[in-house]
């Protein structure tokens, strides 16, 4: 499915193209049509599933279609309530990104900072307010925010909100909302108290569920190769010697890393291609279709680039590194074993990533099987704090040298002082 199939208007499609989103995620595919049709939603989904865009995009479309007249002070028509300042900022960034080609404004409201700038933004008039509960109530009581014109209300991460003790604040907010409105309710889990709260907010909601991230991991066979940083490349070649791996999706943390892996694989005559944020849409599309048509054996992807990819019956996922966020690991391996097929996830771990493996195992509540056919076992120890600091310093130094050299070179080409000096030296 594409975003076009979801009947989105062109300024939104253009903004999504800028974000390099190729396909809607599961929660987006399910929620966007429901929200566009005006129904309430009870959504069971957590961060990392593309949940924010799932509600932000159709709300923006509603606002475009309501054709708010420009001129005159804007009235708040959309209220998003979320538990933390970080989430509020992320949500606001999402709204700004997807509404960049239309005249719709948003602002964030959270506590712990001077309220001055927030009040100033509110006084100017704004369409969408994204707020944490405490400061929201505070500014309502001071008369800076009115909820009278709210048409769309979104309660995000409801379970976390309750765990943080916001239940009374939420109830106060709900009591102030107009009856005529569309409400969207999202929570990662749906225990009884959450369902009860949702009943007080929603009217005949449509239920939307995407699997909690940790559950996919239970059904996929997972193997771990512990190795040294310097052996990763050789180990990948070793793994790919297995003929049964006719195709594999390899994950790399960085874009440069992805390119490097492809270069190395090509030297070994293993057909491969990379997709990441620095590749054009065409290049990505080409790599993906080559992979789908079996012309390329290994597709190397960064996490963000891989989000939109949907490949049927992918059997193997290989993690060239262990992500520091367990959710990312779960997302990665969820790329194999789809639609009832069995999947195999192979992870390569260098000493610095040992602790990430422990975090992953905690999240998936399962030990990852250590592979027995490992010709390059891990012999190095993870760095201690002082070594880490020194390594980081060295890295920064190398980075600075790299940029300084690049600058020198470009000055040289431009016929600047460096060039003249070189000439003098040569003469
Ligand atoms: P969220 O679950 O809303 O926190 O989103 C997780 C991440 O996925 C964010 O970095 C989004 O920018 C990104 N994202 C959301 N939808 C898509 C999509 N359809 N394709 C690629 N990335 C997406």
Q: What does 140-170 look like in DSSP terms, one character per residue?
A: HHTTS---TT--EEEE-SHHHHHHTT-HHHH
Residues flanking ligand 1, CB < 6 Å: 21, 23-25, 28, 47-53, 307-308
- pTM for this entry: 0.59
User: Each residue of 277-332: pLDDT tens digit?
Assistant: 788 778 887 898 899 899 999 999 998 777 656 666 688 999 999 998 888 898 88
Expressed in angstroms, the distance from the first to the final Cα of the chain is 65
Across the range 392-410, mean pLDDT stands at: 81
CA of 23, closest atom in ligand 1:
19
Q: What is the pLDDT of residue 421?
A: 38
CA of 24, closest atom in ligand 1:
19
What is the CA angle 114-117-122, rounded to 5?
120
**Confidence class of residue 212 from pLDDT cuts 50, 70 and 90?**
low
**Confidence class of residue 418 from pLDDT cuts 50, 70 and 90?**
very low
CB atoms within 10 A of CB 273: 23
Structure tokens at 26: 């599961």
3-state DSSP assignment of residue 33? helix
Separation of 49 CA from ligand 1 center, angstroms? Answer: 7
255/258 Cα distance (integer angstroms): 5
The number of angstroms, rounded, from the C-alpha of 18 to the middle of its chain's C-alpha atoms is 15
Residue nearest to atom 9 of ligand 1 (CA): 50
Q: Indicate the pairing of strand 106-109 with strand 78-81.
A: unpaired
Residue 333 has pLDDT above 50, yes or no: yes
CA of 49, closest atom in ligand 1:
2
Separation of 384 CA from ligand 1 center, angstroms? Answer: 35
Separation of 241 CA from ligand 1 center, angstroms? Answer: 34
Q: What is the pLDDT of residue 398?
A: 84
Q: What one-character DSSP code corresponds to residue 351? A: G
Q: What one-character DSSP code corresponds to residue 367? A: P
CA of 97, closest atom in ligand 1:
12
CB 324 within 8 A of CB 295: no
Q: What is the pLDDT of residue 308?
A: 56
Q: What is the pLDDT of residue 412?
A: 67
280/254 Cα distance (integer angstroms): 16
Identify the weakest region by mean pLDDT among 9-23, 47-61, 214-228.
214-228
Residue to substitute in 13, 45, 53 for testing ligand 1 pocket (most ligand atoms within 8 angstroms of CB): 53
CA of 307, closest atom in ligand 1:
21
Q: What is the pLDDT of residue 309?
A: 65
422/413 Cα distance (integer angstroms): 11
Separation of 337 CA from ligand 1 center, angstroms? Answer: 22
Beta-sheet strands, E only, within 50-132: 78-81, 106-109, 128-131
CB atoms within 10 A of CB 408: 14
Separation of 251 CA from ligand 1 center, angstroms? Answer: 17
């Amino acid at each position: 499915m594409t975003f076009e199939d979801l009947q989105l208007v062109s300024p939104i499609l253009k903004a999504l193209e800028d974000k390099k989103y190729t396909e809607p995620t599961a929660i987006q595919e399910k929620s966007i049509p429901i929200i566009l049709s005006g129904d309430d939603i009870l959504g069971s989904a957590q961060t990392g599933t593309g949940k924010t865009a799932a509600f932000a995009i159709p709300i923006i479309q509603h606002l475009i279609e309501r054709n708010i007249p420009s001129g005159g002070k804007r009235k708040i028509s959309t209220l998003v309530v979320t538990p933390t300042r970080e989430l509020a900022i992320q949500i606001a960034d999402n709204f700004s990104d997807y509404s960049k080609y239309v005249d719709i404004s948003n602002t964030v409201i959270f506590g712990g900072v001077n309220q001055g700038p927030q009040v100033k933004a509110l006084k100017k008039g704004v369409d969408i307010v994204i707020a944490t509960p405490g400061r929201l109530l505070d500014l309502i009581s001071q008369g800076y925010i009115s909820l009278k014109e709210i048409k769309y209300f979104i309660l995000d991460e409801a379970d976390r909100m309750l765990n943080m003790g916001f239940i009374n604040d939420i109830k106060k907010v709900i009591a102030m909302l107009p009856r005529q409105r569309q409400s969207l309710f999202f929570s990662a889990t749906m225990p009884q108290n959450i369902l009860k709260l949702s009943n007080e907010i929603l009217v005949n909601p449509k239920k939307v569920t995407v699997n909690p991230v940790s559950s996919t991991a239970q059904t996929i066979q997972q193997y771990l190769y512990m190795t040294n940083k310097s052996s990763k490349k050789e180990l990948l070649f070793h793994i790919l010697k297995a003929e049964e791996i006719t195709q594999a999706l390899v994950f790399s943390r960085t874009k440069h890393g992805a390119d490097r892996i492809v270069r190395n694989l090509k030297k070994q005559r293993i057909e491969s291609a990379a997709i990441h944020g620095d590749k054009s849409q065409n290049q990505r599309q080409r790599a993906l279709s080559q992979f789908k048509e079996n012309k390329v054996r290994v597709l190397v992807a960064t996490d963000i680039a891989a989000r939109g990819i949907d490949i049927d019956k992918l059997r193997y996922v290989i993690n060239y590194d262990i992500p520091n966020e367990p959710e990312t690991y779960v997302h990665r391996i969820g790329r194999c074993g789809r639609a009832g097929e069995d999947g195999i996830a192979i992870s390569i771990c260098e000493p610095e990533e040992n602790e990430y493996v422990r975090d992953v195992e905690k999240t998936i509540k399962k030990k990852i099987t250590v592979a027995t056919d490992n010709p390059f076992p891990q012999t190095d120890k993870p760095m201690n704090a002082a070594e880490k600091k020194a390594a980081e310093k060295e890295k920064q130094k190398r980075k600075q040298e790299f940029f300084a050299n690049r600058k020198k070179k470009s000055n040289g080409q431009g016929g600047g002082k460096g060039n003249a000096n070189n000439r003098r030296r040569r003469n």
